[in-house]
Amino acid sequence: MAMPENPPGKMPSPTPVTIVVSAPDVGKRLDVCVASHISDLTRSAAAHLIQQATVVVNGDPKRPAYRVRAGDRIEGRLPPPLIVQLEPQPIDIDILYEDRDLVVVNKQPGLVVHPAPGHSSGTLVNALLYHCPDLSPIKGEIRPGIVHRLDKDTSGLIVAAKNPQAHSRLTAQFAARRVHKIYLALVCGQPAAASGRIELPVGRHPTDRKRMSTASRRPRAAVTEWNVSRKFPGLSLLELDLKTGRTHQARVHCAAMGHPIAGDPVYGGRKAIRQLPRPVADLMRSVARQMLHAWKMEIFHPRSKEVMHLEAPIAGDMRAVLDSLAAVRENPL
Is 241 an active-site residue? no
The percent of the chain in helix, strand and coil, each rounded to the nearest 5, is 20, 30, 50
Indicate whether 284 and 144 sit together in one domain. no
| Predicted local confidence at residue 2, as pLDDT | 36
Indicate whether 140 and 281 sit together in one domain. no
Please state, in angstroms and rounded to a whole number, the distance separating the CA atoms of residues 262 and 278: 15
Residue 218 burial by Cβ neighbours in a 10 Å radius (0-12, 13-18, 19+): exposed
| 242 strand-pairing partners | 181, 224
Residue 200 lies in a domain: yes
Residue 39 lies in a domain: yes
Query: What's the chain's average pLDDT?
Result: 88
Residue 5 lies in a domain: no
Given 25, 72, 101, 151, which residue is catalytic?
151
| Predicted local confidence at residue 274, as pLDDT | 84
Indicate whether 188 and 269 sit together in one domain. yes
The total number of structural domains that make up the chain: 3
pLDDT in tens, 32-86: 999 888 866 778 788 989 999 999 999 999 999 999 999 999 999 887 655 556 7
* Prediction pTM value: 0.76
Residue 1 lies in a domain: no
Flag whether pLDDT at 10 surpasses 60: no
**Who has greater pLDDT, 258 or 209?**
258
pLDDT in tens, 197-254: 999 999 888 888 788 999 888 888 999 999 999 999 999 999 999 999 899 999 999 9
Indicate whether 218 and 320 sit together in one domain. yes
Domain extent at residue 48: 15-81
Residue 159 lies in a domain: yes
Indicate whether 300 and 207 sit together in one domain. yes
Residue 158 lies in a domain: yes
**Who has greater pLDDT, 328 or 113?**
113
